[in-house]
Amino acid sequence: MNTRKSTVALTLVGSLVLGFAGGSLGAATTNLFGSDTDLVGDSGQVQQTQIVEEGSQTIDAIEKVQPAVVSIVATRDLQIVRRSPSSLFNPFMPVPQEAPQVETQRQQVSGGSGFIVSADGLVLTNKHVVRDEDADYSVVLNNGEEYTAEVVSRDPANDLAVIQILEGEDKSKPKDLPIVEFGESDNLKIGQKVIAIGNALGEFQNTVTSGIVSAISRQIEASDSMGGNRDVLTNLLQTDAAINAGNSGGPLINLSGQVVGVNTAIASGANGIGFAIPIDDVKPVVSSVKEFGEIVRPQLGVRYVLLSKTNAENFEIDVDHGAYLAGNDSEALPAVLKDSPADKAGLQAKDVILEVDGKEINETFGLQEAIRNKKPDDKVNLTIWRDGKSIEKTVTLEAFEPQK
């Protein structure tokens, strides 16, 4: 299956707090078990039983996960300008003008979701939910308890972050908090039922919606609701389970109550198109924080373009898949970064990485996906196409450090 970059407008679903001008929440409900009409005959009885069993399974899955789903609130000091009543008079009248008064008030500026991954209060969420380094963060549990929280680490390579729940004036770590159970996203099938849970619109805590896995291995370019902070996200799950603003960082779960994804983005102006980061891409992040106290990503140290039958002709290359190492002649944008693991292993500009540890690099499985779940100091075996022939290279990965 080919993966192509989405061209529709997509929005990261952290909620900006804008307030409501009015309106009410509709009270429409759907009968969980379908029609009230009596079913007659053996086939009808089987159908009724299947619907009831699926409904019970959904409820059990939600009840299993909900205690570990949290709402995340960001607050910061904002300046408020108060003008004296005299400023409302006609400016041509001889009324003394007083200088406006500037006050500072702490206000909620955004909201999102997350879920607890350790009994002592580590919470996984999206990076864009806690992107504001000047904000203070708090966490509200499903039972209404509120705690302060601090950002532990933001992922340099994906829209993920980990925060720590703290309690009391001494800001100690809590104990025995409920945690989620991880599933396996690599085994998900298109059409499989999934459930999204989160702090919808930053207002409605632990809202539950359901749908199916619509597609896998999606690549999109997403931005926040103001059109800024653009990120390219790869290897995403697509779902038609309603993901609303504020659901960012909440879990996407299967019918066993296991987390299979992290709700991340929605397609603006479209219904039933949401995206989640697969949990198998998330597990190394959690392990990294528990082991190193921060998110540590490995790096290879190359700039590349994924090849297809179309663009391979443009590069005049006689292979139609792989990662083509492309840059320019300047030191600012080299194909192979100086002193990087790739440089030390002898990789060169215009090399094509065909395989990583025997797995083919193509539009569905890119180089980033092949490296992402490795650790620093791991060795990877590369099959490279150079000057019309295949060669092998072994590279020792190093910790990723964002360029400044």
- Evaluate if residue 27 carries a pLDDT over 60: no
pLDDT band at 180 (very low <50, low <70, confident <90, very high): very high
Instruction: Return the pLDDT at 76.
Output: 83
Instruction: Return the pLDDT at 205.
Output: 75
Residue bearing the bigger pLDDT, 327 or 62: 62
Angle, CA of 112, 365 and 261, to the nearest 5°: 25
Instruction: Return the pLDDT at 386.
Output: 94
Instruction: Return the pLDDT at 8.
Output: 40
> Is residue 118 annotated as part of the catalytic site, yes or no?
no
Instruction: Return the pLDDT at 31.
Output: 28
Instruction: Return the pLDDT at 30.
Output: 28
Highest mean pLDDT (candidates 58-67, 71-80, 196-205): 58-67
Q: What is the 3 state secondary structure string of 156-187?
A: CCCCCEEEEEEECCCCECCCCCCCCEECCHHH
Task: Kindly state the tokens that stand for 66.
Answer: 């909900």
Share of the chain above pLDDT 70, in %: 74
Q: What is the 3 state secondary structure string of 373-389?
A: CCCCCCEEEEEEEECCE
- Evaluate if residue 4 carries a pLDDT over 90: no
Instruction: Return the pLDDT at 43.
Output: 47
Domains and CATH numbers, the chain: 67-83+101-166 (2.40.10.10), 298-399 (2.30.42.10)
Query: Quick count: other Cβ atoms within 10 Å of Cβ 92?
Result: 6
Residue bearing the bigger pLDDT, 84 or 375: 375
pLDDT band at 266 (very low <50, low <70, confident <90, very high): confident
Instruction: Return the pLDDT at 85.
Output: 58
- What phi, psi does 56 have (nearest 5°)? -65, -40
pLDDT band at 318 (very low <50, low <70, confident <90, very high): confident
Residue bearing the bigger pLDDT, 81 or 74: 74
- Provide the 3-class DSSP secondary structure of residue 369: helix
b/e 62-71 (16+ beta carbons within 10 angstroms → b): bebbbbbbbb
- Evaluate if residue 72 carries a pLDDT over 90: yes
Instruction: Return the pLDDT at 94.
Output: 58
- Evaluate if residue 47 carries a pLDDT over 80: no
Instruction: Return the pLDDT at 77.
Output: 72
> Is residue 321 annotated as part of the catalytic site, yes or no?
no
Rounded-to-integer distance, Cα 185 and Cα 363, Å: 19
Instruction: Return the pLDDT at 55.
Output: 76
Element (H, E) at 367: helix 367-372
Over residues 50-78, mean pLDDT: 85
Select which of 6, 71, 153, 159 is catalytic. Answer: 159
* Residue labelled with tokens 């320019």: 328
Instruction: Return the pLDDT at 259.
Output: 98
Rounded-to-integer distance, Cα 146 and Cα 166, Å: 10
Instruction: Return the pLDDT at 23.
Output: 27
pLDDT band at 224 (very low <50, low <70, confident <90, very high): low
The runs of H, that is alpha helices, within 31-188 are 42-65
Whether residue 8 contacts residue 218, with contact meaning beta carbons closer than 8 Å, is answered with no
For the chain, the average pLDDT equals: 80
pLDDT band at 86 (very low <50, low <70, confident <90, very high): low
Q: Model's pTM, two decimal places?
A: 0.74
Instruction: Return the pLDDT at 32.
Output: 27
pLDDT digits (tens, 9 = 90+) for 119-155: 999 999 999 999 998 899 999 999 999 999 999 999 9
Instruction: Return the pLDDT at 97.
Output: 58
- What phi, psi does 67 have (nearest 5°)? -60, -20
Over residues 99-104, mean pLDDT: 68
- Evaluate if residue 211 carries a pLDDT over 90: yes
Select which of 113, 153, 248, 340 is catalytic. Answer: 248
Over residues 100-114, mean pLDDT: 75
